[in-house]
Chain A
Amino acid sequence: MKANLNPETIAIIAINNDDIIYQFNDGAEELLGYSASELIGQKKTNFFILDEEYEKFKKDIASKYKIKTSHFNPYTILAQNDDYDAREWTVVKKDGTRFIAHSTLIPLKSDKGENVGFMRILKNITNQKNIENDLLRKNQVLNAAEKITMMGNWQWDTVINKVEWSSNLFNIFEVNPKEKLNFETYFSFVHPEDKDIVSASFDKSIEDKKFYDLLHRIKLKNGKIKTIQLLGEVVLDENTGEVIELIGTCQDVTEQRMAEIKFRGLLESAPDAMVIVNELGVIQLINKQAEKLFGYASKELINKPVELLIPNRFKSKHSSHRGLFFNAPKTRKMGEGRELFGVNKFGKEIPIQISLSPLKTEEGLLVSAAIRDITVQKKAENKILEANERLEVLANKLTAQNTQLADFAQITSHNLRAPVSNLNSLLGFYNIAETEEEKIIAFQKFEIVIHHLTETLNTLIEALKTKNRTSIPIEKLDFKEVLDKTIQILSGQIISTNTKISSNFEDVSNINYNKSYLESIFLNLLSNAIKYKSEDRTPEIYIYSVIEDGVIKLKFKDNGLGIDLKRHGHKLFGLNKVFHRHPDANGVGLFMTKVQIESLGGTISVESEVNVGSTFSVNFKE
């Protein structure tokens, strides 16, 4: 049936003054479902229309012609006034179905001009109606959407300067929807401070025939300030190419703007340089501190890869690190434990510390990097390190000097006070001596003490000279030659003790050293090794040179008595310290050896096992 409802079909029904149908065309047959033969001649007027619509029609006619009574025929009134009526009627077809029709009622007149009846012309407008409803609904949706998004749309006919706003735009501007609008209405709301840029932007849009998006503030009648964003398009005349209209949207972005301002404020107030980067490593936002740190202006960096700020040698690794971060985003320090560097616009590297935080936004996951310039800390750190090194050197020197001072304090305390106190005691004994014999004994003792004291003083003077000597002649000395010379000097003892001496100077055969010191070292260590031989073994001494940890070492290894280092280690190299009940032990040799070695920046050490042997090691200066 619906197929019959051709929108082009026009039904024409003519009815005379006696309400008799006298014309019913093909279109009427098609639209209403009745046949003409069924109806023509019948007295029917309102057989296909709804009562309520008829009543409404009647009322309209009554009000139009100021008819007080309800007993009248609206069709007749219409004809009498030579008027017509056009409106929508619901048509009920023969089969009971309905459609919306546009109906026009036209009075019919005879040749003499007498009113003879009226004609109704019907047209099916269901489709049109549906489209209209659809549009209406869409408009509602649009209105709702605009409300939700705080958006409105506008059209500005630039030819006649007429502006139209969507209903929500009236809401945004808080203007009565009935108000007539033109560009000046809109412009009056523009915030005074933004008027210049707004008019300039519109001028440019029209001039360039391209709409420039615009973000500005408006000041409402009640003084409220809002921020709006205008997006739009320029419509051109098809023929002349002139601008005839601007259309677009307007969004109230006050809140976003506030949030953005707040965020921006936060970003700017951060003490660190902030660089916000997206998943692809493209810089989205930077703050002033970052501009300062890297020497770029914000616009030079935005939408550029973050690798621009990374020294070349770190670039390749960085992108893979970035990938890892986006896989498991969490706040963390970057490059923990490693030294990080950024590079500024001028290619200068800056030591930096970076903290990363993920930032979830509508545009996806971003990462904010807080970057701190640690040049100052680095410098301070280096200074501290340097100072520390210097302090260490100083401390070592002081310790050495302290040890020497302590050595001398001990020497004076032990080695000088003892003989002096003996002299005192002997003097007392001499004074009360009653016999000549006692006096002779006292004098013999005096001699011993004085001899001992002289020796000690000589050693001390020698040691002091050695320690304070500023320039000691140095020459290239061959270990083997010095050893041979020493063996010659000690030949008597070597033969009498049957000592076997072997050597190996293959690793290091010579050294730059003071000749007399080196001879003295060889003499002392070799004669000690012979002196403290074991009675149970044939003395064997092995002298060799090695390089250990970059230090040249000269070693004297014997198979003698050995030393209990736990008990005697601390006094091994002290003056007049003896720990063997050996008749020739005088505690001078090792003391002087140590003083000589130390005066040239070396050390002496010993390893020993009682009854197995000792190895003295002369460790030359590095």
Chain B
Amino acid sequence: MNKNFNFCIVDDDDIYQFTIKKTIQALNYSKSIIAFSDGEEALHFMLDNLTNEEELPDIILLDINMPIMDGFQFMEEFIKIKPKLSKKITIYMASSSVDETDIKKAHEISEISDYIIKPIKQGKIKSIIEIFLKEKNTETK
């Protein structure tokens, strides 16, 4: 299997960043894992690399509660810059919140593929990658 995709973590929780990185690395699939502590940092990175396919993430795990720019605010901005991006980016909302309003709100945004409640098990990351690769194959065929 080719390691030709980038993982991106957007979360202000250091411990979570640490454990999820370990989990993804353990699967030994992805090319790189980049992490940002809030939505604004992630947005700036993407604005700097709009057409840089090498650096742009393929899959984002996006937290909701973050300082400066939270997950939903990031999504608003992301939708604005989406047409300028040279790459299709899959976004999962990953939060420890079991709040119905958060879940509902996330499902209403079509750019969000799914809502994952933390903690995220290894198997979940695996299925996310499998879905991603399957879609990628159908696109290239």
Contacts and interface: CB of A to CB of B under 8 A. Distances in A.
Contacts of A419: 15
A418 B73 contact: no
A577 B96 CA distance: 14
A414 interface: yes
Contacts of A449: 15
What range describes how many residues of A lie at the interface?
20 to 34
Contacts of A121: none
Nearest to A432: B26
Interface stretch (A152-160, A334-342, A421-429): A421-429
Nearest to A582: B67
B13 A422 contact: yes
Contact of A414 (B18, B19, B96): B96
B107 to A, nearest CB: 17
Contacts of B18: 445
A428 B67 contact: no
Contacts of A410: 97, 99
Contacts of A577: 65, 67
Interface of B is mostly: loop
Interface string B63-94: 00101111001000000000000000000000
A417 B19 contact: no
A421 B17 CA distance: 12
B4 to A, nearest CB: 26
Interface string A558-586: 00000000010001000001111100010
Interface string A416-452: 0111111011101100100000000000010011000
A67 B89 CA distance: 152
Given A579-B67, A581-B67, A429 B97 contact: no
B118 interface: yes
Contact of A421 (B22, B69, B99, B119): B119
Nearest to A449: B15
Interface residues of B, number: 28
A400 B114 CA distance: 33
A409 interface: yes
Contact of A429 (B13, B22, B67, B98): B22
Contacts of A580: 67-68
B96 A417 contact: yes
Contacts of A426: 15, 19
A413 interface: yes
A418 B96 contact: yes
Interface string B7-29: 00000011110111011001000
A581 B68 contact: yes
A425 B67 contact: no
A289 B87 CA distance: 86
B112 to A, nearest CB: 18
B15 A422 contact: yes
Contacts of B14: 448
Nearest to A578: B67
Contacts of A424: 119
A445 B13 CA distance: 11
B96 A425 contact: no
B96 A421 contact: yes
A10 to B, nearest CB: 132
A63 B7 CA distance: 154
Given A421-B118, A425-B23, A581-B68, A414 B15 contact: no
A578 B66 CA distance: 7
A584 to B, nearest CB: 13
Contacts of A418: 13, 16, 65, 96, 118
B97 A414 contact: yes
Interface of B: 13-16, 18-20, 22-23, 26, 37-38, 65, 67-70, 73, 96-99, 102, 118-122
Given A429-B22, A567-B69, 17 more contacts: A409-B99, A413-B99, A413-B102, A414-B96, A417-B96, A417-B97, A421-B16, A421-B96, A421-B118, A425-B20, A425-B118, A428-B122, A429-B23, A448-B14, A567-B73, A579-B68, A581-B38
Closest 4 CB pairs of A and B: A425-B19, A421-B119, A417-B96, A418-B96
14 contacts: A410-B97, A414-B97, A417-B98, A417-B118, A418-B13, A419-B15, A425-B16, A426-B15, A428-B122, A445-B15, A571-B70, A579-B68, A580-B67, A580-B68
Interface of A: 409-410, 413-414, 417-422, 424-426, 428-429, 432, 445, 448-449, 567, 571, 577-581, 585
